[in-house]
Amino acid sequence: MIGYIFLGTAIVLEIISTSMLKLSMGFTKLVPSIVFVVGMSSAFYSLSKALNVIPLSIAYAIWSGIGTALTAVIGVYIWKEELSMTAVVGIGLIVVGVILLNLKGAH
């Protein structure tokens, strides 16, 4: 259970950091740039702690899959970006892949 708490923390920190990367305007804005560096460093630390309990393939699939999907949602709702149907299908396939990998890991 603690591994998944660390993994969830890593995902949240990565999503916040990615938004700060956009706000940093190519690292020209100091505060978002600092938040990005600290947030990503903390995300990788949390991911490393999760890997003490969760297999690498499972943890990384969850981290990257959920991170990708939630970052796309944030892009749409906060940054007013548009997603094509192809992008929606692609994100759906990522989520399905994460589910299948977790089912494989459960055995």
**3-state DSSP assignment of residue 13:** helix
Q: What is the pLDDT of residue 31?
A: 98
Over the stretch 62-77, which tens digit does the pLDDT of each residue have?
998 999 999 999 999 9
Residues near 107 by beta carbon (within 8 Å), at least 6 away in sequence = none
Residues near 87 by beta carbon (within 8 Å), at least 6 away in sequence = 72
Residue-range domain boundaries for the chain: 2-105
Q: Check pLDDT > 80 for residue 54.
A: yes
Compute the CA torsion angle 55, 58, 63, 67 (nearest 10 deg): 180
Task: Quote the percentage of the chain above a pLDDT of 90.
Answer: 80
Q: What is the CA radius of gyration of the chain?
A: 15
Calpha distance 37→56 (Å, rounded): 23
Q: Looking up tokens 């923390």, which residue turns up?
A: 9
Calpha distance 98→26 (Å, rounded): 31
Q: What is the pLDDT of residue 104?
A: 72
